[in-house]
Structure 1
Amino acid sequence: MKDKPNEWVSIADLMAGTLAVVMLLLVVSILQSQFAALQHKEEAERGEASQRKRVEAMLTDMKRAFEAQGAAGLVAFDPAAGKVTLKDNVFSRGSACVTLEAKAAFASVDRELTHYLTEAKEGQIFVEGHTDSLPVQSPVTDFARFCTVYDDNYTLSAARAREARRLLTGGMTAETARRVIVAGFGDSHPLPGVDPRDARNRRVEVRFVR
């Protein structure tokens, strides 16, 4: 009498084959996902590199414009870091009012700043005010003269950042200008290696970020 075929062996073979196919599809899916993630990362890195180059080129052009006007002493440019530092002499002494010289110098680069935010849809500009650590001796209440009222360094730093923002956004639409963001840090972020009381800490830093 012949042995009957064992149907369980056939079912087991079928299940093993099915499992192998499922595992193969899973591996392919994982590899595709990893490949897509790698592509996305490379595209993002290329985009960031392109953005850095764009900001560097813009800040280099702005630096030349300031030098041509003899206004280089008002600002310090760091194209590689994507940063511009407005020095204390951009403002009237003890005030948030921007000097006429600074207004004229920044008016010449309105187009570059507007073009940057128009092209970089996710781009932002952070305007950050800083002071030295010397305390305010008495409250300032004459807004017409000082363009603000303040009784401490935080309030003054925020007011200077606000006025710097107005300086930067003069040629922008209201929608574009929303991406120019202000913060006042008072004396909490002195320059590295500089005495907190040093006047060089009185500055407004403008950073171009994505």
Structure 2
Amino acid sequence: MKDKPNEWVSVSDLMSGVMAVVMLLLVMSVLQKTWSDVRHKQEMEQGASAQRAKVAEMLSNIKASLNGTANEGLVMLDTNAQKITLRDGVFNRGSACIAGQANQAFATIEENVLKFLNEFSAGQVFIEGYTDNLPVLRPVTNFAAFCTVYDDNFTLSAARAREARKFIVGELPPAMARRVIVAGYGDSQPIPGVPPEDARQRRIEVRFVLPTR
């Protein structure tokens, strides 16, 4: 008598085949997502690199426009950090009043801040004030003469950043001007390798911050 075929063996083979197909589809899905993530990351990096290149070009244009002028020595660029440093001499000594000789530098920066904010709708500009570590010996209360009142380096640095912002913002629309932000750090963040009492510590930094996706 012949043995009957075992139907369960066929079902088992069928299920094994189905599982193999499912596993193959799962592996393909994972590989496709991984490849998609890699491509997305590459596109973002390329986009960020292109944005940084635009900012670097803008900073170079600022420097080029000031070369050979009285303001040339007031401005230092750092394309890696995407910032402009306005050196000691931008403000009158112990004052938040902008020195007359710095007007051209601020006007050039204002023009390029406008370009930056128009180019990058979510970009921001940070204007940050810093001082040396020499203490304020007595409060300054004559606002008319010093464009601020202050009794320590933090207040002075913030006032200088504020005055720089006023000049740089110029006639920007309010919505755009809100993306220009000030901060005063006093002598809390000295330049590494430079004595804390050195005049180079007295500075304003204008940082261009690109939007993050």
TM-score under structure 1 normalisation? 0.91
Deviations 1:19-65 (A, max 9, x none): 11221121111111111111111111111211121111111111122
Is the Cα–Cα contact under 8 Å of residues 69 and 105 in structure 1 kept in the other structure?
no
What corresponds to 2:116 in structure 1?
Answer: 116
What corresponds to 1:31 in structure 2?
Answer: 31
Is the Cα–Cα contact under 8 Å of residues 75 and 105 in structure 2 kept in the other structure?
no
CA distance in 2 between counterparts of 1:38 and 1:171 reads: 43
What corresponds to 2:201 in structure 1?
Answer: 201
Seq. identity, %:
57
**Aligned residue identity for 2:85:** T
What corresponds to 1:92 in structure 2?
Answer: 92
Deviations 1:158-202 (A, max 9, x none): 111122222222142221222222221111111111111112101
Structure 1, gaps ≥5 residues long? none
CA distance in 2 between counterparts of 1:68 and 1:25 reads: 66
Structure 2, gaps ≥5 residues long? none
TM-score under structure 2 normalisation? 0.90
Displacement over 3 Å in runs of 4+? none
Superposition RMSD on alpha carbons, in Å? 1.7
**Aligned residue identity for 1:74:** L
Is the Cα–Cα contact under 8 Å of residues 129 and 185 in structure 1 kept in the other structure?
yes
Is the Cα–Cα contact under 8 Å of residues 157 and 185 in structure 2 kept in the other structure?
yes
- 1:90 deviates by 0.7
Deviations 1:79-103 (A, max 9, x none): 3432210112111111111122222
CA distance in 2 between counterparts of 1:38 and 1:65 reads: 41
